[in-house]
Amino acid sequence: MPRGKRDGILIAGGGTAGCLAALAMARLRPDVPILIVEERDTFGGSRERLLFDVELATDEAELVAPLAARRWPGFYVAFPGFSRKLKGDLMAFGAAALHRAMIETLQPDQYRLGTKVVAVREDALVLDGGETIKAEGAIDARGAANLSMLELLYETRLERDCRMAAPHKVDRPVLVDATGEPVDGLGFTQCIPLAPDRLTVGDVVVAEHSQPDAQAEGRLERYLSKRGWAGAEVEAERMVARPLPYGGDFAAFWRIGGARVAKAGLRGGFLHPVTGRTVADAARTALLLTRQRDFAGPALHDLFEAQARTLWKKREALRGLNGAIASAPVGARGALLARLYALDPGLLARLQADALGLLDRRRVQQALAGR
Ligand SMILES: Cc1cc2nc3c(=O)[nH]c(=O)nc-3n(C[C@H](O)[C@H](O)[C@H](O)COP(=O)(O)OP(=O)(O)OC[C@H]3O[C@@H](n4cnc5c(N)ncnc54)[C@H](O)[C@@H]3O)c2cc1C
């Protein structure tokens, strides 16, 4: 690896946002040198991402669709009193697909794996061990960092990848199953098919804390038993949380961790506030980067910050929805989710796609108010 100043851009972090930026640049701007540095031995993070087709514009879909490991024409939701089979093309992809795409697309001198970045400057990465790599500009895509300037709920989950002795017969994702034992607050189970005999089953709670509650494991065990999956082999278990912002000082959030450093992915606050999904934003910012002419650090910072601020402003109504949940008594929060999923499927698709119109917003507010 050459030392001293390089042309082009440096990317710290090879998760969703870093990988999509690197893939887009390698394919669409091969003239611009890139180097992406990831601390793990593989790219892509550790879990599956779900994504609805409606979240992506055509060029974004061209970047993301080849990663899809599985596709479904819709999903299920179930609440006490009603269940729905909703249409909506959705896909899933995992770390393996991202890693494969990276290795196939990038040249070996365009990436470093197993290398920790200890600091990101506007035009440099400082690596564990002291080496500094300089370039025209750098992007920090190392995942969520200091979120203290934002008002957040968390979607916490305890999830297991299970291998069943027999086919589980779940033909499409069950995004919400709230028919199990009641949770004190907004809670449900989610089942995502991985293969005919493999399933990710998660106990999900939306709350102010970022750790699953003490009862999560028991609830998950009992859910597996109730569905006849008690003897399933557990291939992996994870405790994870994703932030769902409903307010805060976004400008201050952006300044944390390097006032002039460009940030992508969760680090830059690029997420759908209600679903917590980040892939569509990551695809959008990756393509934005490919249209850039000036790759100097300050120019990249301004590009990404402007985009993040625009999206934050545009998503006020979505944050309001989280705010309604946050301000509701804990025991009433589950009913709010049920009212949302009882809405017109077209409106639900627009909510997923971050494309709510004025009338949609009014309808959502009415639904939350129980009208
Ligand atoms: C439980 C859960 C479920 C989710 N489900 C979905 C979903 O279905 N659909 C969706 O769109 N989004 C989903 N998300 C949200 C989002 O996709 C992920 O959080 C996403 O991985 C965020 O992308 P990112 O690139 O910002 O961060 P990450 O994907 O976390 O990538 C950060 C990368 O940086 C690396 N890194 C960190 N520190 C360093 C360092 N010091 N040096 C070098 N490398 C470093 C990490 O190893 C990692 O590879 C989910 C999140 C969670 C927690």
Could you give the percent of the chain with pLDDT greater than 70? 99
Name the residue of 10, 37, 43, 49 to mutate for ligand 1: max ligand atoms within 8 A of Cβ: 49
The yes-or-no verdict on residue 184 having pLDDT over 90 is: no
Q: State which ligand 1 atom lies nearest to the alpha carbon of 15.
A: 31
Give me the residue spans of the domains in the chain. Answer: 9-72+89-148+247-314, 152-246
Verify whether ligand 1 is closer than 6 Å to residue 200 (CB atom): no
pLDDT at site 275: 95
pLDDT at site 4: 61
Contact 16, 270 (CB under 8 A): no
For residue 371, what pLDDT band results from cuts at 50, 70 and 90? confident
Name the residue of 40, 278, 279 to mutate for ligand 1: max ligand atoms within 8 A of Cβ: 278
For residue 1, what pLDDT band results from cuts at 50, 70 and 90? very low
pLDDT tens by residue, 140-177: 999 988 899 999 999 999 999 999 999 999 999 999 99
Helix (H) / strand (E) containing 336: helix 333-341
**Residues 152-186: b if buried by 16+ CB within 10 A, e if exposed:** bbbbbbbbbbbebeeebebebbbbbbbbbeebebb
CATH 1.10.4100 applies to domain 152-246: no
Contact 60, 280 (CB under 8 A): yes
- Quote the ligand 1 centre to 142 CA distance (angstroms): 8
Integer Cα distance of 116 and 133 in angstroms: 13
pLDDT tens by residue, 85-95: 999 999 999 89
- Quote the ligand 1 centre to 15 CA distance (angstroms): 5
Q: Average pLDDT, stretch 222-250?
A: 94
Strand ranges for 215-301 from DSSP E: 233-248, 262-263
Q: Average pLDDT, stretch 221-231?
A: 94
The yes-or-no verdict on residue 208 having pLDDT over 70 is: yes
Verify whether ligand 1 is closer than 6 Å to residue 155 (CB atom): no
Integer Cα distance of 345 and 349 in angstroms: 6
Strand order, beta sheet including 124-127:
117-121, 124-127, 132-134
Average pLDDT, the chain: 94
pTM of the model: 0.95
Q: State which ligand 1 atom lies nearest to the alpha carbon of 276.
A: 15
Phi, psi of 262 (to 5 degrees): -70, 135
What is 9-72+89-148+247-314's CATH number, 3.20.20.100, 3.60.20.30, 3.90.245.10, 3.50.50.60?
A: 3.50.50.60
